[in-house]
Amino acid sequence: MKFIHTSDWQIGKTFSFADDDTLGALQAARSDAVLHIGQLARQEGVTCVLVAGDIYEHETPERRTLHQPMERMRQFSDVQWHLIPGNHDADTPEGVWARLRREGAVPGNVHMHTHSQAVQIDAAHNAWLLPAVLKRRHTLSDLTEYMNDAATPPEALRIGLAHGSVVGFSNGQEAEHNPIALDRAKQAGLAYLGLGDWHGFCQIDTRTYYSGTPETDRFVTGGAGGGETLVVTIDGPCAQPVISRHRTGKYIWRKLEDIVLTSGEDIDALEARVRHIHPDNPSVVMAWLEVSGLLGVDDLRKYESVILTRLQSAVACLRLTGAPQLAAGIQDLERLDASATVKMAAQELLQKVEQGGEEGAVAREALQRLFLFWHEVEGAAA
């Protein structure tokens, strides 16, 4: 049997650092990921797509956000979509699933599994899906435990689908919630256990995988990063699943940490590094730069020109944390020799900068602007 494993679509997710245009593009990309998955299914000849939770980002999405993925899936009537709730869209009494059912918005080819019981999904291959259903955002019990005892016909292909954290695999806070036994696939005799919650692809064991999100949504996703969808092929109940990873994401998210700029060469190097993320198409690059350092008056102007103007226009989004500071010294004041008055002002600012503190920071900014305006005045005079 061949099927697609995906998870964490998180339709409706917002990105606080992004401006309106970027946000619109990122949200559209998340929605389009469903299309890409559908197209991948057709391309691979797959009729069954398993979505391991977190289809929606919010418990109460807007009407359009609610219906959008359903309508995308409706477009692929030849594909059967099997969904389970995740921690973001748990099957609460008045949650998204109840809303969808109430509004009759679920297409015929979309199956929402809200009961923890075995369901046959492919008669030809005698494939049975064992969904673990989150009834609230967080549980402390292992919802996959029932799979151990869930009855299926003999020789059935038992496929588990769950959303949570594999116990012992992560040290993070998330591991405390929605735990999943590390060897659940083995305990429950599953041919495959498709998991959701991690946004980067991750293999737990030979039968247990996190597919990751089909469209990356974080600079730090864990695992091997997101933007992928898994095509799983299992030849029989006892056969090892064969996994092939397919890129379905549009944007490439990278965070460059601890960038220290001290010279013009550093600036050039930084530009090259960012552009190298996707040299052919930098417009799909989402870059987060943690910048610090000290630059002279000229280099600071270069930083503004190269990074803040050129590079920011080249990539989809350039998120900056920190900035290089002006490294103005006595020698830099010499360029103000034309006006003793301005030089006197610059000297006073420089003294304040050297004193440090909040006032020093303001003085640094003031000094930076003094040099900038001086440059403009000189330019105008010239």
Partner 1 sequence: MILTDIQLECVRRFISPVRLEGLGAGLNVLAAPNEAGKSTVLMALRAALTLRHGSKAQAVKEMQPYGGGAPHIGVGFEWSGKSCWLEKRFMKGAFARLDLGHERFDGDTAEERLNDLLELEKNGKSEAIGLWNALLVRQGESFAAPVLNNAGRSSIQNCLEHGVQEVTGIAAAGALLERVRSRLGQLQTAATGKPTGRYKHLLEDQAKAAEHLKNLHAKRAALEEDLVLLGQQRRTLREYENPERQKQEEQKLYQLREERDRLRNLDAEEKAALARKAAAVQQFQNIRDEQERRQEHRAEYARLQQLISDSVKELSELAAQEKTASLRYQAAQAACQKALKHHQVQRAILHHVMQQREVQHQEGTLLRLRENLKHVQESFAQIEQAQAAFDALPMDGVKIQRVRKAAQKVAMLTQQVQAQATVLEMELLPHAAQRVLLDGKPCVSGKNLLHAPAELHVEGVGRFVITPSAGGDTVELQQELHQAQNALTHLLQQIGCLNAEGAEQQYEQHCLAERQLKEAKAVFAATLPDKKGVSPDKVLLELRQNLAREEAAYTQKKHALAQNLASQIGSAQASDLTCLPEKAVQQEQDAAQEVEQARQTEHDAQQVLIAAKAALDKVKAIQQQQETGLIRLQRELELWQGRESDAALLQRLQTCAQEQAEAQAALEHCEQARQKERPLAVVESGIQRLEQAQKTDGENIARLREDIRERETRVRSAEGDGVDERIAEADRLQQRLNMEVAACTRDRAALVLLDQVLRKAEQEQTARYMGPLVKTMQPAFSALFPGSELEMDADFGVAALSRNQREDVANLSDGTREQIAVLVRLGFAEMLHARGVPAILVLDDALSFADSMRLECLFDVLAEAATRFQILILTCHAQLFAPLRGRMLNLRPQESFTAPR
Residues that bind partner 1 (CB under 8 A): 12-19, 23, 57-63, 65-66, 92-94, 99, 102, 338-345, 348-349, 352, 362-363, 365-366, 368-370, 373-374, 376-377, 380
Q: Which is nearer to partner 1, 77 or 355 (CB)?
A: 355
CB of 59 to partner 1, least distance (A): 5
Q: Which is nearer to partner 1, 64 or 276 (CB)?
A: 64
The residue behind tokens 């092939």 is 244
- Torsion angle in degrees (nearest 10) through CA of 52, 163, 126, 205: 110
CB of 321 to partner 1, least distance (A): 11
CB of 98 to partner 1, least distance (A): 9
Q: Which is nearer to partner 1, 285 or 323 (CB)?
A: 323
Using left for φ > 0, alpha for ψ between -120 and 50, and beta otherwise, residue 98 falls in alpha
CB of 237 to partner 1, least distance (A): 40
Rounded to 5°, the CA angle 36-38-43 comes to: 90
Q: Which is nearer to partner 1, 268 or 359 (CB)?
A: 359
**Following DSSP, what letter does each residue of 132-197 receive, concatenated?**
---SSS--SS-TTGGGGT----TT-EEEEEEESEETTT--SGGGGSSEE-TTHHHHTT-SEEEEES
CB of 313 to partner 1, least distance (A): 19
Q: Which is nearer to partner 1, 208 or 368 (CB)?
A: 368
Would you tell me the crossing angle of helices 96-103 and 63-74 to the nearest 10 degrees? 70
The residue behind tokens 């305006």 is 373
CB of 58 to partner 1, least distance (A): 3
Best CA proximity match to 160, nearest among 16, 282, 7, 297: 7
Q: Which is nearer to partner 1, 178 or 368 (CB)?
A: 368
The CA distances from residue 179 to 9, 158, 166, 197, in Å, are 20, 20, 6, 11
CB of 13 to partner 1, least distance (A): 8
User: Per the structure block, which two tokens stand in for 369?
Assistant: 């602007």
Q: Which is nearer to partner 1, 16 or 171 (CB)?
A: 16
Evaluate whether 322 touches 290 at the Cβ level (below 8 Å).
yes
